[in-house]
Structure 1
């Protein structure tokens, strides 16, 4: 068992929280592998097992997604686009450096602003519990872009 999972047991009682990667995968599956989606999840509702990743590939049922991920307290923001697998290591490193150079201030402002602008939510049902994810606006589930 990972140290983060053990610590989460003490934070929220006796039940571990789902990982951010499980919520991501489950959301994409619940949406029948959409062409794109963009959502927020509260740090307090998950265990962040993708910490440090900003731009990366994520495969679900043989479908690849490019994931843009950023911490914007009190949330983590995910933007997912169905795309062919690419080497995203350069972009990932660039976004991480940019966040550090800006001391995370724009990310914090984004999270606080999003708290006032979120207008929709959806329940994600995982084997480890249900997590609510949030949207700035209701997504068109069949949209290509």
Structure 2
């Protein structure tokens, strides 16, 4: 509760929501068939906390999102696809695995990413300016699935 109040009063005025960055990145890339990136947890408000597997709409285009917190980052893997069915069951299953494993694999993934990240790009948001997102490798803009 205290963290929520802190985020609402102070950080929300300074930082964009993770969903805004995701939407801006996809638009900036001109709706790619897929993308996969990291964002620093300190660069955004984590408005998608607890969501691991879900559908996300960007200007009428549907993206299948796999997402995990991996300190000090949040990792997104996004694939454009037609909306098919409710992903609530899969989301709960992935969340269960994270809790069951005490978050250790995601922590290790985040710590390894610190050393493996080789590229970054700037995402421009409307209200909060630019934000860096990170990639293990530079993505090929023309690549398909």
TM bracket, shorter-chain basis: over 0.9
Q: Distance in 2 between the 1:5 and 1:46 partners?
A: 12
For 2:70, the equivalent position in structure 1 comes to: 72
Runs of at least 4 residues off by over 2 Å: 2-5
For 1:22, the equivalent position in structure 2 comes to: 20
Q: Distance in 1 between the 2:87 and 2:16 partners?
A: 26
Q: Distance in 1 between the 2:105 and 2:59 partners?
A: 34
Q: Distance in 2 between the 1:7 and 1:90 partners?
A: 34
Instruction: Give the superposition deviation at 1:5.
Output: 3.1
- Count of matched residue pairs: 139
In the superposition, the TM-score normalised over structure 2's length comes to: 0.92
For 1:12, the equivalent position in structure 2 comes to: none
Contact map agreement 1:5 1:16 (CA 8 A) in 2: no
For 1:113, the equivalent position in structure 2 comes to: 112
SS of 2:48's equivalent? coil
In the superposition, the TM-score normalised over structure 1's length comes to: 0.92
Q: Distance in 2 between the 1:8 and 1:18 partners?
A: 9
Instruction: Give the superposition deviation at 1:87.
Output: 1.2
Q: Distance in 2 between the 1:6 and 1:29 partners?
A: 29
Instruction: Give the superposition deviation at 1:8.
Output: 1.5
Aligned match for 1:6, one of 2, 6, 9: 9
Listed as ranges, the gaps of 5+ residues in structure 1 are 10-14
Deviations along 1:75-134, one digit per CA (max 9) or x if unpaired, are 000000001112111110100000000000000000000110000000011021211000
Listed as ranges, the gaps of 5+ residues in structure 2 are none
